Amino acid sequence: MRMKQEFQTICPLDCPDACSLLLTVEEGRVTALRGDPGHPFTQGLICTKMRTYTDIIYAPGRILHPMRRVGPKGPGARFERVSWEEALDAAAARMREASARWGAESILPVSYSGTMGVLNRNAGQRFFHRLGASKLLRTLCTAACKAGLDATLGAGLGNDCAGMARSDHILLWGTNPATTNMHILPFIQAAREKGAKVTVIDVYRHRTAKLADAFVPVRPGTDAALALGMMHVLVREGLIDRGYIGRWTLGFEALRKRLEEYPPERAEAVTGVPAAEVERLAREYGRARAPFVRMGIGLSRHANGAMIVRTIACLPALVGAYAKEGGGLFEISTGAFGLDLAAYERPEWSPGGTRTINIVEVGKALTGALGGPPVKVLFVYHCAAAATLPDAGAVRRGLLREDLFTVVHEILHTDTVDYADIVLPAPTFAESPDFFTSYGQYFFGLNEGAIPPRGEAKSNYEVFSLLAERLGFEEPDFREGLWEAAARILDTPRLRRAGITLEALREKRYLQAPLNIANPFAGGFPTPSGRLEFYSERMGRMGLDPLPAHVPLAEGPENPAHAGRGMLQLVLPPGHHFLNSTGNGGARSMKGEGEQRLFLHPEDARERGLAEGEPVRVRTARGSIVRPLRVTEDVPRGVAIIPGVRASRHSPDGRGVNELTSQALTDMGEGPCYHTNLAEAAPAGAENGREGGPALTGAAIPATTQAP
């Protein structure tokens, strides 16, 4: 009889839900994976991405041993198997050489969210700080939205999404939870069963929009103007909570004057939402008992993204929704957990004045466009850099440099592996213990592992401890055990008072963060004033508009330089069966997702002579790709949609969608502008499709123009 065991773990994917999972293991092999019904938030549900995750654990192309490249860099690169000792010795030797010849800043770590486990995600920080390497500013996901929330609410906090079950009016703004946040759907459905109305506001009609009571299409990057138009109506018609405004907000009179500039007619001109619809949205929202706004992070991935987030976050304050049971707003929960990451990452070990490189600008760093010491050693871990970083063409050109020594620590053979000199095998979450927080709910979680590492895989934590030993780092941090480090990170006065310790987490498996998750702002806001700040003096001191505003995109149709050129606003939302690049290549995921396509409105396709299924070349100021066309009225006129991030090997022309994106930074938070793209679309065989320089001008487009 085969021995069967069940292990409780946490999903490691870069997703807001951080699901609790139950893995069935027979004879050392994961044979089943299901949701944990005991978790208060995820309640036993799992998405299609996790349902097929065993395709990754047991992928035929799984990297199981260290390897060294033996031929040219790039697609089709060949490798030979080596020992861990050979691989680590080679990496350590090149780091020593680079430090001696060009300084330690010539070494650059690149990592992001291939795992969301606190220990392994951050395991490289202290190593590279001790080494004196260039520091990486990791801003791809929540940096801009956190900046917008910080300026308004004071922290990355919001009313718990479970509270939506008690709401009577729900706005899903810039989010597609059926694809990216499925565990809030039961709460939404519970509210609908009690009569709540659900409205989706987004740039195209996606899965969730098709399930909602109403869908409001808005032009990309104009959401702040829609929110301001709604607020204009709320104030004009007295649909506001003056008691809440007087007690818990700052700058209402200044905001009221600003709102005079945004009547519904102006909102219509900017957003494309009819003025009557703006008024209807505002009245329904203002008359609701407990309206709830679930904002998506994608809103912040425009050049004006932080201001969009800040502006929408003001809306619930006008009606007092933050204090109402079932009401409020949520975007992220990163400000809730209170970990002592500095004790783990040791930022004080980094020499004073060490340069910081933004992950958005890695393409510039690798091609010498940032100045400073050249990057001579690149260490990439839990990040599919060649596929997911902006301006992938620049990243790829940098990775092709013969004088760049690249180490890649990976589970599967990604695009980035093609450019590596040394490849190190990494474990999946089923093989690698860790603990977790979340950016979409308020629970700590624990994963103590379920199976031994496959092949010779080693975790980030192990790899950096071994490298530290080879480089002679004698600090005791590099010799402490994994769970010793976890205990230190959790050892803060606030967490101790709440009884949140490693021992308690091991006993209970998940613990709620120590705050009132239904209303984190019941005792005030963590802003300088203690109030929600309609007017932000801090932003004013930064030279930014201190009030909510619509800031037109420089790379957008409101810029006169692009008037009459017939450009499309290109948005790159998530695919349904992949988590960014995770899941690429899995047989079931690939089958479920199908062929990656360009989505266009019928009139836009007709005007360009494009037909369903034909290959279309999409071109921006950065580069071009070819995708087959899907003609659909789910996409408004003037907008182009390409869902998902595919590895180049799974793209029809060998190029991923980030060939089209820029290295521009958002207005606050220095995040990426993945969704701020003006594009041309033409038949793939047309002159537009020739290889060479981009057809568009203005490669050095600034992030934004001035607010009106």
pLDDT per residue as tens digits for the range 184-200: 999 999 999 999 999 99
Which carries the bigger pLDDT value, residue 491 or residue 703? 491
User: What is the DSSP code (8-state) at residue 582?
Assistant: B
> How many degrees, rounded to 5, is the angle at CA 428 between CA 425 and CA 430?
140
Residue 683 pLDDT greater than 90, yes or no: yes
| Intra-chain end-to-end CA distance of the chain, in Å | 73
560-689 folds as Barwin-like endoglucanases (2.40.40)
If you classify domain 144-331 with CATH, what class do you get?
alpha beta
4-57 folds as N-terminal domain of TfIIb (2.20.25)
Task: Give residue 646's pLDDT.
Answer: 87
Residue 103, Ramachandran bin (φ over 0: left; ψ between -120 and 50: alpha; else beta): left
Task: Give residue 696's pLDDT.
Answer: 36
58-80 residue pLDDT tens: 999 999 999 999 999 999 999 99
444-486 residue pLDDT tens: 999 999 999 999 999 999 999 999 999 999 999 999 999 999 9
Task: Give residue 408's pLDDT.
Answer: 99
**Cα 1 from chain centre:** 45
Residue 385's CB is within 10 A of a number of other CB atoms, namely: 28
CA distance linking residue 478 with residue 344, whole number of Å: 10
pTM exceeds 0.85: yes
Residue 688 pLDDT greater than 70, yes or no: no
Q: Which of 226-235, 454-463, 684-693 has the lowest mean pLDDT?
A: 684-693
Give me the helices (H) in 562-687, please: 587-593, 602-607
Helix/strand/coil for 94: helix
Residue 27, Ramachandran bin (φ over 0: left; ψ between -120 and 50: alpha; else beta): left
pLDDT confidence tier of residue 582, bands split at 50, 70 and 90: confident
Task: Give residue 592's pLDDT.
Answer: 84
Question: Averaged over 671-698, what is the pLDDT?
Answer: 71
Select from 461, 458, 432, 457 the least CA-distant residue to 447.
Answer: 432
Question: Averaged over 269-277, what is the pLDDT?
Answer: 99
Residue 10 near residue 21, CB atoms below 8 Å = yes
Domain boundaries, the chain: 4-57, 67-141+338-446+453-512, 144-331, 560-689
67-141+338-446+453-512 folds as Rossmann fold (3.40.50)
629-672 residue pLDDT tens: 999 999 999 999 999 998 888 888 999 999 999 999 999 999 99
Residue 564 pLDDT greater than 80, yes or no: no
pLDDT confidence tier of residue 3, bands split at 50, 70 and 90: confident
160-182 residue pLDDT tens: 999 999 999 999 999 999 999 99
Q: Which residues of 577-589 are buried (b: 16+ CB within 10 A; e: fewer)?
A: bbbbbbbbbbeeb
278-322 residue pLDDT tens: 999 999 999 999 999 999 999 999 999 999 999 999 999 999 999
Q: What is the mean pLDDT of the chain?
A: 94
Q: Which of 368-382, 564-578, 585-599, 673-687 has the lowest mean pLDDT?
A: 585-599
Select from 163, 92, 308, 315 the least CA-distant residue to 221.
Answer: 308
Q: Which residues, listed in sequence order, are joined to residue 292 by a DSSP beta bridge?
A: 170, 328
Residue 691 pLDDT greater than 70, yes or no: no
Question: Averaged over 615-635, what is the pLDDT?
Answer: 98
pLDDT confidence tier of residue 585, bands split at 50, 70 and 90: low
Task: Give residue 211's pLDDT.
Answer: 96
What tokens does 317 get? 């304050």
pLDDT confidence tier of residue 686, bands split at 50, 70 and 90: low
CA distance linking residue 701 with residue 332, whole number of Å: 30
Residue 460 near residue 382, CB atoms below 8 Å = yes
pLDDT confidence tier of residue 547, bands split at 50, 70 and 90: very high
pLDDT confidence tier of residue 399, bands split at 50, 70 and 90: very high
Query: Any residues with CB less than 8 A from the CB of 615 and at least 6 apart, and which?
Result: 626, 627, 628, 629, 652, 683, 684, 685
Residue 32's CB is within 10 A of a number of other CB atoms, namely: 12
Q: Which residues, listed in sequence order, are joined to residue 387 by a DSSP beta bridge?
A: none
CA distance linking residue 175 with residue 156, whole number of Å: 17
